[in-house]
Structure 1
Amino acid sequence: MRKLVLAAATLAALSATPALAQSDPDKSFDGPRAGVILGYDRVQPGQVPNSSIDDSNSASGLTYGGDVGYDHQTNSGWVFGVEGEVTGSTAKVTNNPSAAGALGYGRVKAGRDLYAGARIGYAVTPHTLIYGKGGYTHQRLDLVASDGTTETGQHFNLDGWRAGVGLEQSLGGKAYAKVEYRYSNYGKARLEYPSGGNTDNFSVDTDRHQLVAGVGVRF
């Protein structure tokens, strides 16, 4: 009788093991990742009081670059992560360099952008993640300006914040694809001189809108 009971208990335990394994969530959004991004980029002056510059004066183009990050997915489907980006842009304004109408800086081309931030999301299916993100962004604007006699090339470094929303889709294995909308606002800037010197920070109001797509892999 004892052997019969032991055999029955063993069979029950073996039968339960696959069910327990199947109850573990498929953590498609867990671990380190790296990818590339490409998309639409628009830089424009913000709407500030007593300004003669409106948001029709903008620079549009393509943003491109790469990102890295690390995500932790909980058993309940929430995803918490940190990430960083390095991107460039083709966005530029080719107005007369002696006129400050476009962006308020003269003739401008968007340079490199550095971003560091965090994101939080929820896996609405085992392979589909929706998320929000936010963090710090440091943007360079390459400038050609003129005093009416001499043209000079310099650049501005702008400090600001970024917020965005996105959707990420696991493609099977370790690959993924994503789409994002991001808004950035830069409130501080400093002018960098060719000699290496720079001005103190001063207040600006510059907006940035981006719609990007990306692909990557997890490790």
Structure 2
Amino acid sequence: MRKLVLTAASAALAIGLAAPAMAQDAQGPFTGARVEAVLGYDSISDGHDQSSSSSDGVTYGGAFGYDWQVGRLIVGAEGEITGSTTDTRTDNLIANGDSYRMDAGRDLYAGVRVGAAISPVAMVYAKGGYTNARVDEEYRVGSTRTTGHTDLDGFRIGAGLEYKTSANTYVKGEYRYSNYSGGDNVYDVDVDRHQVVAGVGLRF
């Protein structure tokens, strides 16, 4: 995790140092700082090859970022903080009759996106970066119940479409896949996450 954080910090610093020079060359409707609200579908499942079920819920939160447009090319850095109503349960995980439940909590994301303007008001993009999710865990076997929470490191990739609704506002639709691993409270966690979200944003 430390290596991932240092890598992300170094990338952010490099982008920050390059921003003034890029801003001089960048122009176009997709250049500038932005903030947005996101809301959408959230599904998580156990990534192990075991008897488990996926669970659906709602993800919600906010994002911020900065984009540079040169010609049709758009490059940006972004961060996001979200919560979720999703949880998942796995039965017979270690022994017959046991159960493991995981409730999704807050999720932090930092990454980059690269896009292309397909018109003066629309762009398509791909994204990727580091994500950290906090989960609450509960393991039951017989009358014994063990609880805890842990932070999981992972990666996220995705793609979307952004459409300008005015000079400073936009809407977007996005699909993203995340995978998390780790956990030291009950067992080694491997979580697959699929999300489809909509966003409403303001560009400065």
Q: Please give the TM-score of this superposition, normalised by the length of structure 2.
A: 0.78
* Equivalent in the alignment of 1:208: 193
Kindly report which structure 2 residues correspond to 1:164-175, keeping only aligned pairs within 5 A, or say none: 164-175=158-169
Match of 1:173, SS? coil
Percent identity (aligned):
46
The aligned runs of 1:173-188 (5 Å cut-off) are 173-188=167-182
* CA distance, structure 1, for counterparts of residue 146 and residue 65 of structure 2: 39
Task: Please identify runs of 4+ aligned residues in structure 1 that moved more than 4 A.
Answer: none
1:67 lines up with 2:63 in the alignment: yes
RMSD: 2.4
Q: Confirm whether residue 88 of structure 1 aligns to residue 83 of structure 2.
A: yes
Cα distance in 2, alignment partners of residues 28 and 105 from structure 1 = 52
Structure 1: any 5+ residue segments left out of the alignment? 1-24, 192-198
- Cα deviation for residue 95 of structure 1 reads 6.9
Matched residue count: 176
Are the equivalent residues in 2 in contact too, given 1:105–1:143 (CA < 8 A)?
no
* TM-score, normalising length: structure 1: 0.73
Are residue 38 (structure 1) and residue 39 (structure 2) matched?
yes
Q: Give 5+ residue unaligned stretches, structure 2.
A: 1-25
Larger radius of gyration: 1
Relative to its length, the structure with more strand (as a share) is 2
Alpha-carbon spacing, 1:44–1:140, altered in 2? closer, same or farther (3 Å): same
Q: In structure 1, what is the Cα distance between the partners aligned to 2:197 and 2:63?
A: 12
1:203–1:107 distance in 2 versus 1, CA, 3 Å: closer
**Aligned match of 1:19:** none
